[in-house]
Amino acid sequence: MPIDAAQFPEANQCSGGINAYREEAEREIASACIERLRQFLAGERPFDDSMTVDEYVVPVTVFPDGSITDEDGAIFPNPNW
């Protein structure tokens, strides 16, 4: 079931954000990768840094209070942070 990510601004604190569809999230990551490579080619970023991908896609459940859980049961935002 698609979610309206705009309804959950708190969730953006735990990662790059929440996307309603997996492909949307993957395209966002790909766009960031392309930008890092563009910066390398322009001499604005070292090669190793431009090739590092720290983002990944994780299915989550969004609750009415804006909190989310991942498939391992971790709760975000985590009150212990």
- Asked whether residue 70 is assigned to any structural domain, the reply reads yes
**Are 20 and 5 within 8 A, CB to CB?**
yes
pLDDT for residue 7 is more than 70: no
Asked if residue 81 belongs to a domain, the reply is: no
pLDDT of residue 6: 45
User: Is 24 a member of any domain?
Assistant: yes
**Secondary structure class of 5 (helix, strand, coil):** helix
Q: What domain range includes position 49?
A: 5-76
Answer yes or no: is 27 within a domain.
yes
| Residue 41 within any structural domain of the chain | yes
Report d(CA 10, CA 7) in Å as an integer.
Answer: 9
pLDDT tens for 26-65 read 999 999 999 999 999 999 999 999 998 888 888 989 888 8
At 13 the pLDDT is 46
Phi and psi at 61, nearest 5°, equal: -115, 130
- Tokens in use for 67? 């909190």
Count of domains for the chain: 1
Q: Does residue 51 form part of some domain?
A: yes
Residues of the chain above pLDDT 90, percent: 33
- H helix runs in 13-81, sequence order: 22-41, 47-50
Q: Is the pLDDT of residue 11 over 50?
A: no
